[in-house]
A and B are shown apart, each in its own frame.
Chain A
Amino acid sequence: MDDLLEEFIAETRDTLETLTSQLVQWEQTPQDRALVDSVFRFVHTVKGSCGFLDLPRLLRLSHAAEDLLSGARDGVVTASAGLVTAVLAIIDRISALTEALETGQAVHDNDQELIDAMLAFLPTEMQDVETPTAIMLDEHEGDELGPKAKSRTVRVSLGLLDKLMSGVSDMVLARNEVSRQLRKSGSNNELETAFSRLSTSVAEMRDAVSLMRMQNIDRLFSSLPRLLRDISIELDKEIELRIEGSEVEVDREMVEALRDPLTHILRNAADHGIESADERRAAGKDPIGKIRIVARQSGNQILIEIIDDGRGINLEKLGTRAISAKIVTVAEWQKMSEKAQLNTIFTPGLSTADKVSAISGRGVGMDVVRTNLQAVGGTIDLENFEGLGLKMTLRLPLTLSIIAGLSVRAGDQIFGISRNSVVEIISTNNVNVKIENLGGASIACIRGERYPYARLETLLDIEEAKLSAERTSRTLIVIRPAVGSIFVIDVANVIDNEELVVKPGAPLLMSTGLYAGTSLPDNGRPMLLLDASGLASAIGVDLTEFETSRTDAVSNHIQTTRPSALLFIASDGVKRAIRLSVIDRMEDVDASQIKFVGGKMRASVDGALVDICELDEAPKNGLVKLLKLTDGQESKYLAVEDVLDIFTLDGEIVPSARPERHEGVVNAFGEAVELINVFQYFEAVEGYRNSSSGAPLCFVDCTEDAHWERRILAPLLTASGYQVSFDDGDRTKAAIVLSRDATDICEQSKDPRILHLRDTSHVVPNAGASIYRYDRVGLISAIEYKLAGGA
């Protein structure tokens, strides 16, 4: 019985939300049979369950509502504002009673008044014909009202879901441990294959579980039409609400967290934003106000835009208010940018409403909205079109529990910080960075802008790790907290960019104000997540200070005196690095502009054909990310999958085994990656140009079917700027004769042009001057040496 009741409560609560929005819709489109049917069906279900569970009050209410709706179905009554209000009153009561069932609190019983009020809409003769209605309905239930094809679902308690989630996280940790052990114990192909299968399925499972927490944002939006309807009736304004993007999925906790802020914003928009019908007419607008709510997913963020076509924010008025409320001084106001002025509406105690209404205008509101959003890691932006409307953009992380994080080192500890608040990461060695001293306090000056500054170690009172030989600089992180102005913290270094599962910290820990929670990265060592606002107040940043206008500093524009490299994912999926100095810019080129012509992949951009390197196959459609490389004269595209980050090449460059492909191996964020040898792309160009201008001729002495010479040696020589010939007739005029034939060694003394290539890297005794045939550098320099007249 208890189970049944719980089920009933949960189900009713779910449907009530949808129902109210449908009722409101019905009011607007009274002819829509399907809507009435659907509302009717719900009320009927509730009625049935109430009878079964012996809940007399609910039964009476739902029964009455059913009567009225069946009248509506039969066309006896039509939807009107009054009628819908009456039905909504019943629905509200049902919802209140349902909640009461759970909490055990009493709800005042004036049900009969509500019922009477509603039934007054029915023509008198209809009022007492319950039995036929009920019978008629049972018939209908069978055929036309048959359940719509629903996706199959089960109800699962959140607790169980959380348990599943932590179970899966355990699995991930265990997997990482196994992988560590595997690496230690050496390779065993079969085991590795089996492990990688396990690994993939664990990863899939983790994704699936995180999806389970997702919920349609419609759950949040479905209550809004009703809300707006109530407001517009109260304010006597006609407002049309359009909702787009209800299918966007968000974390279910996010739905709850957003409910209040969104309600606030909508109230504000309806009350302050939308003018009265007369005013609207006078302004030449449609007398019906419009509010549009658009939700969409963009990367790992959810964007919710609330756009109204009301009067917008009158900055002059806002300024007067702000000044009279002593929030800013006249002088300050005049100096503020428009955006900063606009943002004063988030200051507690400020309202632009002329009069306080029941709905809004008490000056509490926008600050609460912003605080609530910040609590879930979101931000709010305003775009004001004075006289034409206001657009608010809420940006929210996709889930509450997983954030894009940056792990940083301070002392010998590692901390996480949400990447959302990070504006820029810059090395202290950068010429544009200066740490200034101001009466004992430090100020960071980056490209002429000054920011409050502190060392993370100082803030946290931990010991600083000594700078080592390979790490001579520290890293500055420019942070824009949700509240307050930008500041800079100085950390030993940035370690990684990773997705962090956020877990709330114990109250004792949170009471420090410095931490946003804890996380357990894949290495299994707990990590503290730093709270940007907490750090700001620890530094002493004035939290009410308004954002000063600043040019958008994008981390891509970091210029350093030491060489920097770009970390990217190559087209074959491997992380590589390339020197930043050769990159002109990044372009997204449409697949239709890319073609394999003339033996090369080329892109036609702005009428010119540019070679694309490292792209094996022309994509069918979509955009291809290309890095435009330049050596000052020639341009080449390098196809990449994605661009990750910029880092300084301050570590050692370990020589590569294939110097023609990679300059070496470097350390990028704790990972060894290949630094691409850019010259490989450009030297091909040189060869092509030189061949026509009398490049030295190399004769390669080999048989017709010598694969190595023809396939490997010849292209290498061509690429290095020599002409190659296999024609015996060219032997006499060639500047260099290359041969693998041992007999040629004997002739070497006679013909100084002969260069012998040997098959082993070991020097063979009595072999004379010979070059290991895969020693590319050696070979080229030997050729150059001979050309220069050496023997």
Chain B
Amino acid sequence: MASLYLIAHINGARVAIDSDRIESLVHVNEVVPVPQSDPSIAGLFALRSRVLTLIDSQYIVTGQTQPMAKGALAVVAEIGGHHFGLLVDAVEDVVSIGDHQIETSIKPPKLWASLVTATASVDGELVMILDPACLVNGPEALAA
């Protein structure tokens, strides 16, 4: 069983996100900050008539907030009934990853451990399969 994954870059690392979880890919231009909120929230932005919460993916990995550039790329996903934009550095391509490509013996680095479900080898290079829900629920998971 192979499914399609979007290869994106977060904090310089290649990650794969299940394309079924992704609604769209957008450039975020205007972000309204949310004062006093968890630092993983980069702000709010409007996508058509919806208000989406923008997640600073890099913060969740490194604990360092990343400066927001105009037109930053975000992966839009619905998680737990809410729509989120997950900031990514860049996107590459959509690839198919089958079960046989999963590298069970390779564990993701500690920074990523709470976000990544598996590691797979795509065209000879390793990628981490990212669960977008972990980005949103990340802080609680880290706290636990």
Known contacts A169-B49, A519-B51; A413/B33 CB under 8 A:
yes
Q: Is A509 an interface residue (CB 8 A)?
A: yes
Known contacts A460-B35, A520-B51, A525-B32; A508/B46 CB under 8 A:
no
Bound CA span A511–B140, Å: 11
B49 & A508 in contact (Cβ 8 Å cutoff): no
Q: Is A231 an interface residue (CB 8 A)?
A: no
Partner of A508, one of B30, B35, B45, B136: B136
Q: Is B109 an interface residue (CB 8 A)?
A: no
Q: Is B80 an interface residue (CB 8 A)?
A: yes
Q: Can you list 11 A-B contacts (CB < 8 A)?
A: A413-B33, A413-B35, A459-B36, A460-B35, A461-B35, A462-B33, A503-B51, A509-B41, A520-B49, A526-B46, A527-B32
Partner of B32, one of A166, A173, A413, A503: A413
Residues of B within 8 A of A512 (CB): 34, 36-38
Give 19 new A-B contacts, CB below 8 A, not counting A413-B32, A509-B53, A512-B37. Answer: A167-B49, A170-B48, A173-B48, A173-B49, A505-B82, A506-B82, A507-B80, A507-B82, A508-B40, A508-B136, A508-B139, A509-B37, A511-B38, A519-B51, A525-B30, A525-B32, A527-B32, A528-B32, A528-B44
For chain B residues 1-58, which have a beta carbon within 8 Å of chain A? 30, 32-38, 40-41, 44-46, 48-51, 53
Known contacts A506-B82, A509-B37, A528-B32; A166/B49 CB under 8 A:
yes
Partner of A518, one of B38, B44, B80: B44
A508 & B32 in contact (Cβ 8 Å cutoff): no
Q: What number of A-B contacts does a CB cutoff of 8 Å give?
A: 73
Residues of A within 8 A of B41 (CB): 506, 508-509
Bound CA span A503–B46, Å: 12
* Distance between A352 CB and nearest chain B CB, rounded to angstroms: 40
Query: Which has the most chain B C-beta neighbours within 10 Å: A508, A519, A524?
Result: A508
* Distance between B40 CB and nearest chain A CB, rounded to angstroms: 7
A526 & B36 in contact (Cβ 8 Å cutoff): no
Partner of A526, one of B40, B51, B84, B139: B51
Q: Is A514 an interface residue (CB 8 A)?
A: yes
A460 & B36 in contact (Cβ 8 Å cutoff): yes
Write the residues of chain A forming the contact surface with B, with a CB cutoff of 8 angstroms.
Answer: 166-167, 169-170, 172-173, 413, 459-462, 503-509, 511-512, 514-515, 518-520, 524-528
Bound CA span A526–B85, Å: 14
B53 & A508 in contact (Cβ 8 Å cutoff): yes
Bound CA span A508–B48, Å: 22
Bound CA span A408–B95, Å: 47
Residues of B within 8 A of A167 (CB): 49
Bound CA span A326–B82, Å: 43
Residues of A within 8 A of B36 (CB): 459-461, 512, 514
Partner of B53, one of A173, A505, A527: A505
* Distance between A637 CB and nearest chain B CB, rounded to angstroms: 44
Residues of B within 8 A of A518 (CB): 44, 51
B49 & A528 in contact (Cβ 8 Å cutoff): no
**Total number of B residues with any Cβ neighbor in A under 8 Å:** 23
Residues of A within 8 A of B40 (CB): 508
* Distance between A397 CB and nearest chain B CB, rounded to angstroms: 20
Residues of B within 8 A of A509 (CB): 34, 37, 41, 44, 53
B38 & A508 in contact (Cβ 8 Å cutoff): yes
* Distance between A301 CB and nearest chain B CB, rounded to angstroms: 26
Bound CA span A240–B55, Å: 56
Nearest first, the 5 closest Cβ-Cβ pairs linking A and B are: A460-B35, A169-B49, A526-B44, A506-B53, A170-B49
Bound CA span A576–B34, Å: 36
Residues of B within 8 A of A413 (CB): 32-33, 35
Q: From A462, which residue of chain B is reached at the shortest CB distance?
A: B35
Bound CA span A512–B136, Å: 15
Q: From A169, which residue of chain B is reached at the shortest CB distance?
A: B49
Bound CA span A514–B33, Å: 14
* Distance between A417 CB and nearest chain B CB, rounded to angstroms: 14
Residues of B within 8 A of A173 (CB): 48-49
* Distance between A175 CB and nearest chain B CB, rounded to angstroms: 12
Q: From B83, which residue of chain A is reached at the shortest CB distance?
A: A506
Query: Which has the most chain B C-beta neighbours within 10 Å: A459, A503, A511, A526?
Result: A526
Bound CA span A173–B51, Å: 13
Partner of B46, one of A462, A504, A520: A520
Residues of A within 8 A of B30 (CB): 525
* Distance between B42 CB and nearest chain A CB, rounded to angstroms: 11
Query: Which has the most chain A C-beta neighbours within 10 Å: B33, B44, B51, B136?
Result: B51
* Distance between B123 CB and nearest chain A CB, rounded to angstroms: 35
Residues of A within 8 A of B50 (CB): 166, 503, 520
Residues of A within 8 A of B49 (CB): 166-167, 169-170, 172-173, 520
Q: From A534, which residue of chain B is reached at the shortest CB distance?
A: B36
Residues of A within 8 A of B53 (CB): 505-506, 508-509
Bound CA span A243–B50, Å: 40
Residues of A within 8 A of B84 (CB): 506
Residues of B within 8 A of A460 (CB): 35-36
Bound CA span A515–B44, Å: 13
Residues of B within 8 A of A524 (CB): 46
* Distance between B24 CB and nearest chain A CB, rounded to angstroms: 15
Bound CA span A447–B44, Å: 39
Residues of A within 8 A of B136 (CB): 506, 508
Residues of B within 8 A of A462 (CB): 33, 35
Bound CA span A543–B36, Å: 21
B37 & A526 in contact (Cβ 8 Å cutoff): no
Q: From A505, which residue of chain B is reached at the shortest CB distance?
A: B53
* Distance between B132 CB and nearest chain A CB, rounded to angstroms: 13
* Distance between A532 CB and nearest chain B CB, rounded to angstroms: 16
Bound CA span A331–B112, Å: 59
Bound CA span A430–B104, Å: 71
* Distance between B97 CB and nearest chain A CB, rounded to angstroms: 28
Bound CA span A525–B36, Å: 19
* Distance between A258 CB and nearest chain B CB, rounded to angstroms: 23
* Distance between B30 CB and nearest chain A CB, rounded to angstroms: 6
Interface string of B57-93 (1 = CB under 8 A from A): 0000000000000000000000010101000000000
Residues of A within 8 A of B35 (CB): 413, 460-462, 514
Q: From A171, which residue of chain B is reached at the shortest CB distance?
A: B49
Bound CA span A267–B80, Å: 36
Q: From A513, which residue of chain B is reached at the shortest CB distance?
A: B36
Bound CA span A173–B40, Å: 29
Bound CA span A518–B47, Å: 13
* Distance between B4 CB and nearest chain A CB, rounded to angstroms: 25
Residues of A within 8 A of B44 (CB): 509, 518, 526, 528
A525 & B38 in contact (Cβ 8 Å cutoff): no
Interface string of B112-144 (1 = CB under 8 A from A): 000000000000000000000000100100000
* Distance between A443 CB and nearest chain B CB, rounded to angstroms: 23
* Distance between B103 CB and nearest chain A CB, rounded to angstroms: 32
Residues of B within 8 A of A504 (CB): 82
Query: Which has the most chain A C-beta neighbours within 10 Å: B33, B36, B40, B84?
Result: B36
* Distance between A522 CB and nearest chain B CB, rounded to angstroms: 11
Bound CA span A527–B46, Å: 10
A528 & B34 in contact (Cβ 8 Å cutoff): yes
Bound CA span A511–B51, Å: 17
Bound CA span A302–B38, Å: 36
Residues of B within 8 A of A169 (CB): 49
Bound CA span A110–B77, Å: 48
* Distance between A226 CB and nearest chain B CB, rounded to angstroms: 33
Bound CA span A511–B45, Å: 19
* Distance between A738 CB and nearest chain B CB, rounded to angstroms: 61
